[in-house]
Chains A and B, each alone.
Chain A
Amino acid sequence: MTLLDPTLTSLLYLAAAVFFILALKGLNSPRTARRGNLIGAFGALVAVVTVFFSVRLDNIPWILGAIAVGSGVAAPVARRVKMTQMPQLVALFNGVGGGAAALVALLELPAADDGWMRLAVVFTLLVGAVSFSGSAVTFAKLQELMTTRPVVFPGLPAVMGAVLLAAVGAAAAVVLGGSLALALVLLLLGLVAGVLLVLPVGGADVPIVISLLNAFTGLAVAASGLVLGNVLLVVAGTLVGASGTILTRAMAAAMGRSVAGILFGAFRGGSTAGSTAVSDRPVRSSSAEDVAVLLGYAQRVIIVPGYGLAVAQGQHTAAELALALESRGISVDFAIHPVAGRMPGHMNVLLAEANVPYESLKEMGEINSQFRTADVALVVGANDVVNPAAKTSAGSPIYGMPILEVADARQVVFLKRSLRPGFAGIENDLMYEPQTTLLFGDAKESLTKVLGAVKAL
């Protein structure tokens, strides 16, 4: 097979890199986002086709088979995954990308013939492995295969320090001598470091860590590009590394956190207090009919949707309830916390799916001053994002996170399954306040009952 001219190959790679930049640019605005993503996919297609025609490759049937397996597994999963489970799927895809980068670096080690090359190899090995195992832990946390609370044990900082020291030692030895066995040790140390890095991170901060690991994988890919002498990998990896870093900081800022605080807060200890114990203080629970009366004779209702709404697939019922109330002349808005759901922007995706008009979705900064004029704040399956502990309790894991000021509304109604604490694992004092009413049950069932009762008013 005749191979493509190297200049043409470089031009095609350049085109792919430009497509990636345009893709990220497009993803900045809702109007162009979908097109941007498709442009990125097209760029990837150009690059993958180019590689088949520009390098002498053996084992092509095997490679095509492996590609078929990879897409055959990933595409249907990505197509069918529930909207509520998207964050963990993104974590999973990020992890396997990091794993792939580490494996590529491992296999290139024998061909890396100078110290600088081997430096890029050990960087990719370590960072790719951290990204792989760290993402696996974030996946387990989001899928609730393990506790979502920070996992800390005495001596964790010492263990982490020892692992990192050993990794630096192994890395130095590999750079100097190129030993494959030590490279494998480094890979294992990277896997352990990834687990230790993410274990102490509390549930509410997991999305930020996914974003950080995403940036890590980007850097690993860039370094593997240096090893292979492939400019496209360098450019694409660096782009993701840099944009991922900015995005991580933006996400952390939206939650009132610092990235260092999230990663090392638990190491310092003391800041992750919180209790899963359910308090036995009295609450006021009520029937769907009572809630319907509260809502039906209000003038202004603000609905605060949370993850519980999404899990119960209640978005459509919530949208219907908003319509029913509006037909009674009541003004209804949805107050969207930046991290409602499991990730920044997750709730907007879920409500858009239920055809809630964009105009009714109010961002936190816009709506917070309006709770004062609201008769009822209807909190559906949300907890941490309305928890006043974020403002008042300095020891709380969510302290400092901006919250929706639902306590300012004349009445607060919680639709909840139980008094169980939210994702961050802490109790919400608001539920015990005199102006608060609780309606227990699955969010969708409760909404359906309330909707029926409102229509019967």
Chain B
Amino acid sequence: MDGISLLTITVLAVFVGFEVVSKVSSTLHTPLMSGANAIHGIILVGAIIVAGQAAHPWVLAVALLAVVLATANLVGGFVVTDRMLEMFRGRPGKVEKQPGTSRKGTAQKDMSREGKESVK
């Protein structure tokens, strides 16, 4: 792809990045950072390409190290974000005992339903 097209895409991506996180409540700062952190683990795609085209053993070794690191970033990042977000709901079945939960919106009920499967 030519330079100008790449530049266009980059500039547009900057604006999307700015827009997409504006006005987020401080409650979600940590999960949002963690989620964004997982997304840059997509460098794995680059690491795979370099490893797949490595001709010398040492190039392959370094590239495989990059694959390991990138995978850790990508997989670990999404898993840890999911764990954080798992906590943003009451434990199903126990919720009713808590005072003040009667005002809970349907949204939170949705989340607790989604989360049931992962409760140990």
Contact assessment for B21 and A243 in the assembled complex, using a CB-CB cutoff below 8 Å: yes
Contact assessment for B32 and A242 in the assembled complex, using a CB-CB cutoff below 8 Å: no
Q: What distance in Å separates the Cβ of A12 from its nearest Cβ neighbour in chain B?
A: 11
Q: What distance in Å separates the Cβ of A444 from its nearest Cβ neighbour in chain B?
A: 18
Q: Name B1-42 residues within 8 Å CB distance of A.
A: 1, 3, 6, 9-10, 13-18, 20-24, 26-42
User: B interface, how many residues as a size bin?
Assistant: 35 or more
Please, which residues of chain A bring their CB within 8 A of the CB of B114? 34-35
Contact assessment for A338 and B18 in the assembled complex, using a CB-CB cutoff below 8 Å: no
Contact assessment for A62 and B64 in the assembled complex, using a CB-CB cutoff below 8 Å: yes
* Alpha-carbon gap, A24 to B16, bound state (A): 10
Please, which residues of chain B bring their CB within 8 A of the CB of A81? 80, 83
* Alpha-carbon gap, A48 to B30, bound state (A): 26
Contact assessment for A24 and B21 in the assembled complex, using a CB-CB cutoff below 8 Å: yes
Q: Contact partner of A57 among B29, B48, B91, B104, CB < 8 A?
A: B48
Query: Of the 9-residue stretches A140-148, A216-224, A284-292, which lies at the interface with chain B?
Result: A216-224
Contact assessment for A349 and B26 in the assembled complex, using a CB-CB cutoff below 8 Å: no
- Give a binary string over A335-363; 1 marks a CB under 8 Å from any B CB, 0 the rest: 00010000111101110110111111001
- Give a binary string over B64-96; 1 marks a CB under 8 Å from any A CB, 0 the rest: 111111111111111111111111111100110
* Alpha-carbon gap, A134 to B28, bound state (A): 24
Known: A30-B88, A238-B10. A246 touches B17 (CB 8 A): yes
* Alpha-carbon gap, A65 to B15, bound state (A): 37
Q: Name A175-218 residues within 8 Å CB distance of B.
A: 207, 210-211, 214, 217-218
Please, which residues of chain B bring their CB within 8 A of the CB of A224? 43, 46
Q: What distance in Å separates the Cβ of B36 from its nearest Cβ neighbour in chain A?
A: 5
- Whether A7 sits at the interface, judged by CB under 8 Å, is no
Contact assessment for A20 and B33 in the assembled complex, using a CB-CB cutoff below 8 Å: no
Number of A-B contacts (CB under 8 A): 384
Contact assessment for A40 and B78 in the assembled complex, using a CB-CB cutoff below 8 Å: yes
Query: Of the 9-residue stretches A67-75, A375-383, A447-455, which lies at the interface with chain B?
Result: A67-75
Q: What distance in Å separates the Cβ of B22 from its nearest Cβ neighbour in chain A?
A: 6
Please, which residues of chain B bring their CB within 8 A of the CB of A391? none
Contact assessment for A243 and B6 in the assembled complex, using a CB-CB cutoff below 8 Å: no
What is the chain A residue whose CB lies nearest that of B55?
Answer: A58
Q: What distance in Å separates the Cβ of A360 from its nearest Cβ neighbour in chain B?
A: 6
Q: What distance in Å separates the Cβ of B114 from its nearest Cβ neighbour in chain A?
A: 7
- Whether A31 sits at the interface, judged by CB under 8 Å, is yes
* Alpha-carbon gap, A434 to B47, bound state (A): 61
* Alpha-carbon gap, A52 to B44, bound state (A): 11
Q: Contact partner of B6 among A40, A58, A217, A231, CB < 8 A?
A: A231
Known: A63-B67, A214-B40, A359-B103. A234 touches B10 (CB 8 A): yes
Contact assessment for B80 and A97 in the assembled complex, using a CB-CB cutoff below 8 Å: no
Please, which residues of chain B bring their CB within 8 A of the CB of A57? 48-49, 51-53
Known: A70-B69, A90-B37, A355-B94. A104 touches B46 (CB 8 A): yes
* Alpha-carbon gap, A3 to B3, bound state (A): 25
Contact assessment for A93 and B1 in the assembled complex, using a CB-CB cutoff below 8 Å: no
Query: Of the 9-residue stretches A158-166, A247-255, A295-303, A406-414, which lies at the interface with chain B?
Result: A247-255
Contact assessment for A48 and B53 in the assembled complex, using a CB-CB cutoff below 8 Å: no
Please, which residues of chain A bring their CB within 8 A of the CB of B51? 57, 59, 62-63, 66
Please, which residues of chain B bring their CB within 8 A of the CB of A40? 35, 38-39, 78
Known: A27-B28, A228-B49, A326-B99. A242 touches B16 (CB 8 A): yes
What is the chain A residue whose CB lies nearest that of B73?
Answer: A97
- Interface positions of B (Cβ within 8 A of A): 1, 3, 6, 9-10, 13-18, 20-24, 26-54, 59-60, 62-91, 94-95, 98-101, 103-104, 107-108, 110-111, 114-115
Given contacts A59-B60, A89-B80, 16 further A-B contacts (CB under 8 A): A20-B42, A24-B32, A31-B108, A58-B54, A63-B52, A65-B64, A75-B79, A78-B83, A97-B40, A214-B33, A214-B40, A218-B36, A221-B46, A242-B17, A243-B21, A348-B27
25 A-B contacts (beta carbon < 8 Å): A29-B28, A31-B110, A31-B111, A37-B85, A58-B53, A70-B67, A70-B68, A70-B69, A86-B30, A93-B76, A101-B40, A104-B66, A107-B62, A107-B63, A108-B50, A214-B33, A217-B37, A224-B43, A228-B46, A230-B46, A239-B17, A244-B33, A323-B98, A345-B26, A358-B108
